[in-house]
Structure 1
Amino acid sequence: MNPIRILLIGGGHAHIEVVRRFQSLFSGLAVEMMLLNPEPMAVYSGMIPGVVAGHYRTEDCLINLPALCECHGVTWNPGRFKALETDAQRVLLESGESLTFDMLSLDIGSVPATEPVQGAVHAVTVKPAHQFLRHWEAFLEQVDRTKPRTVSVVGGGVAGVELGLAMAHRIQTTQGERPWHWRLIAGGGLLEGHNPMVRRRAKQALDAAGIHCLTHVEVTAIQADGLQLADGQRLHSDFALLCTSAVPPQSLSGCGLPLSDQGYIRVDEDLRVKSMHNVFAVGDIAHFPRPLPKAGVYAVRQGPVLAQNLLRLVRGEPLQPFHPQRRYLKLISLGEKKALASRGWLYCSGAWVWRWKNRIDVGFMEQYQR
């Protein structure tokens, strides 16, 4: 009898945990697993601000997918997903190659919503993460140490706040006291959806770092040397980082899967795609019955449930539901080795919170870098 083929598309947080558990869970079963991901390195998003700030090396936040797969008996394929033929149980790659499967899971994340902004090609986007890191390092290498620069972060969410503070900290520690100019532009308020104490502490950190905050300001266009605002004002900028909202990848639009109004894949509580027996979706691309924030914490916690449900499906057993927390711990780094933590209305900040976050992040990475 031919082995059951499980195909994982995308090296997201949930899928790397499935890979890590493959041999221990599926030992003795006639099952083959393949991970399809064009980049050999997966980036752990929780440590990106620390890398930008200079607290970690780039390699500290990277997971070597070929090595991880080899260690756990999974095949890594560097192909790029193009289309899905669900009836034929086949995936088409951009190379023209096709892959068949018995069970499929998608964890390909979201992409930056650049369409509302003209000239977004002149900006660096925070996703894909590996491209962002390359752009930032390239910018640092070509910086003229004698000339101050203006850096603009577009987006007032967690990513915008963390990366704005991280970049400012890196420049201040490597370039000295030269008068760089920093601004953060938010279409709405700062850290909307967070409690007032968190928002106040983040604003204090931005002020202390010399980052000028413009809230309720819309950026309509980006040029090579500046930003155009909705009110007609133009701001000079040498480096623009887009940390605005994300959207589903275009490849999902014609995949034949049930999609939400926003274009995300509809899944049931067991993480299976609605009305599909053998196809799963996790991470940012999944639209859960109770819509969830696009936060990495959910993808991380979906990993063990997905691994168990793939095993249960192989065995013909009932699948288990994923129970997301309604409130989860939010950790926000503040550039220097300080961070703030919140859950609901609870809040704390300081250097000890950064050390706590560091232990969590380093511990997470150690699972996949051994």
Structure 2
Amino acid sequence: MKRLVLLGGGHAHLFVLERFARQRLAAVEVILVSPSDAQVYSGMLPGWIAGAYRLEACSIPLAGLAGRAGARLVRQACVRLDAAARTVETADGRRIEYDRLSIDAGAATAIHAIPGAATFATPVRPLDGFIGAIERVFADAAAGRECDALVVGGGAAGVEIAFALQARLAVIGRRDARVAVVGTAARPLDGLPRIVQWRARRLMRDRGIEWHGGRRVCAITADGALLDDGSGLGARHVFLATGAAAHPWIAASGLATDREGYARVDATLRSVSHPQVFAAGDCAAYATPRPKSGVFAVRAGPPLAENLLRSLAGEPLRAWRPQRRALYLVSTGTGAALGARGVVGWWGAWVWRWKDRIDRRFVERFRASGDGSTR
């Protein structure tokens, strides 16, 4: 009996479980290790913040999906990985041995890069903590308490959060609440077409969202943030949507990693140092480098599933080359969205409807009936 451990309930592993549900493996035990029994789809979270979705509509139950695939769900976080001993250690002290390991645990937020952030700010990752912090903003707003919010990071995640917060606070009746964004680039959405950046900046100005471009946050305090120009921004709630960071247990595992600590994989998504280990999503450093984005985690799902099956069967693996350009759809919190692919950009209500259809279809695809097996 071989044992396959799926470490993390990320986007790529959803496709693995879906494939295994169709193609049960004889003489293979499958264990899914995840700190949560549901994956909250990050693409729909801004819509939840803005009030377009219930949180349940953004969630994919992992227990049911694992049950259909014949996998056992261990609801625990990984605290240690020993690639030489082929073991995963979980937060409750369990040591799980494996014959094959697939890692799709996402990335962390680089919270320790800013003094005070670990104490006074909430990172976007992990999502459970972020969701709780957003709910506290709404509770403060509804109770008439101070609810000013500062988002650190001017990329797609930070801009979406700011738009969504402003929209929801307006619905609650707190148009007096301050929503601000700090980004190191001159304009929001750095890396997307300039016309989309300009449109985002104009929308932020029209909705009263403060943009502090070309600035860095030097420290976060109980009262807000200090910037590199010596100024300060007051805020009761500070959210970090800054760069991703690798999980420290990957760097300490013995796996080959890149300079930032992400697991290096070849074109088959197999570790370049340990052939029993595969990785995909934000925790992986692909042979063909790509940005940390859910788009590439989703695209890696089917080839990861195929190569796990082939590895377990002793068959040759197939190479995968991620697409060069990705589609980016950024919601603006009021039934409209911005879109970009390559150098082309667009916006409008129709872009939101397009995004909404894509997101709903993705979540519904992986909803599974049944409770699965949880221990």
TM-score range, shorter chain: over 0.9
Contact persistence 2:218–2:228 (CA under 8 A)? yes
Structure-1 separation of matches of 2:63 and 2:286: 30
Shift of 1:357: 0.5
Q: Which runs of 5+ in 1 are unaligned?
A: none
Segment of structure 1 superposing worse, 112-121 or 164-173: 112-121
Task: Return the letter of the residue paired with 1:19.
Answer: L
Structure-2 separation of matches of 1:52 and 1:297: 21
Q: TM-score, normalised by structure 1?
A: 0.95
Aligned-partner SS, 1:115:
helix
Shift of 1:145: 4.8
Segment of structure 1 superposing worse, 360-369 or 114-123: 114-123
Residue 339 (structure 1) aligns with: 337
Q: CA offsets per residue over residues 318-337 of structure 1, 9 Å max, x none?
A: 11112211011111111111
- Residue identity (%): 39
Residue 223 (structure 1) aligns with: 221
After superposition, the CA RMSD in angstroms is 1.5
Q: TM-score, normalised by structure 2?
A: 0.94
Contact persistence 2:83–2:274 (CA under 8 A)? no
Structure 1 position 138 matched with structure 2 position 136: yes
Task: Return the letter of the residue paired with 2:291.
Answer: P
- Indicate how the Cα distance of structure 1 residues 301 and 145 shifts in structure 2: closer, same or farther if over 3 A, else same: same
Structure 1 position 72 matched with structure 2 position 79: no
Residue 22 (structure 2) aligns with: 24
Residue 154 (structure 1) aligns with: 152
- Indicate how the Cα distance of structure 1 residues 71 and 153 shifts in structure 2: closer, same or farther if over 3 A, else same: same
Structure 1 position 187 matched with structure 2 position 200: no
Structure-1 separation of matches of 2:16 and 2:87: 21
Residue 113 (structure 1) aligns with: 110
Residue 55 (structure 1) aligns with: 52
Structure-2 separation of matches of 1:172 and 1:58: 20
Q: Where do 1:259-270 residues align within 5 Å?
A: 259-270=257-268
Q: In the alignment, which of 41, 46, 68 is matched to residue 43 of structure 2?
A: 46
Structure-1 separation of matches of 2:168 and 2:76: 35
Structure-2 separation of matches of 1:88 and 1:355: 49
Q: Which runs of 5+ in 2 are unaligned?
A: 369-375
- Indicate how the Cα distance of structure 1 residues 180 and 96 shifts in structure 2: closer, same or farther if over 3 A, else same: closer
Structure-2 separation of matches of 1:134 and 1:9: 24
Q: CA offsets per residue over residues 302-347 of structure 1, 9 Å max, x none?
A: 1111111011112221111122110111111111110111111222
Residue 95 (structure 2) aligns with: 98
Task: Return the letter of the residue paired with 1:131.
Answer: G
Structure-1 separation of matches of 2:218 and 2:54: 35
Equivalenced residue count is: 366
Residue 368 (structure 1) aligns with: 366
Residue 372 (structure 2) aligns with: none
Contact persistence 1:8–1:15 (CA under 8 A)? yes
Structure-2 separation of matches of 1:322 and 1:26: 23
Contact persistence 1:119–1:222 (CA under 8 A)? yes
Aligned-partner SS, 1:179:
coil
Aligned-partner SS, 2:23:
helix
Q: In the alignment, which of 284, 287, 291 is matched to residue 286 of structure 1?
A: 284
Structure-2 separation of matches of 1:220 and 1:153: 14
Structure-1 separation of matches of 2:126 and 2:273: 30
Task: Return the letter of the residue paired with 1:359.
Answer: R
Structure-2 separation of matches of 1:293 and 1:102: 30
Q: Where do 1:248-263 residues align within 5 Å?
A: 248-263=246-261
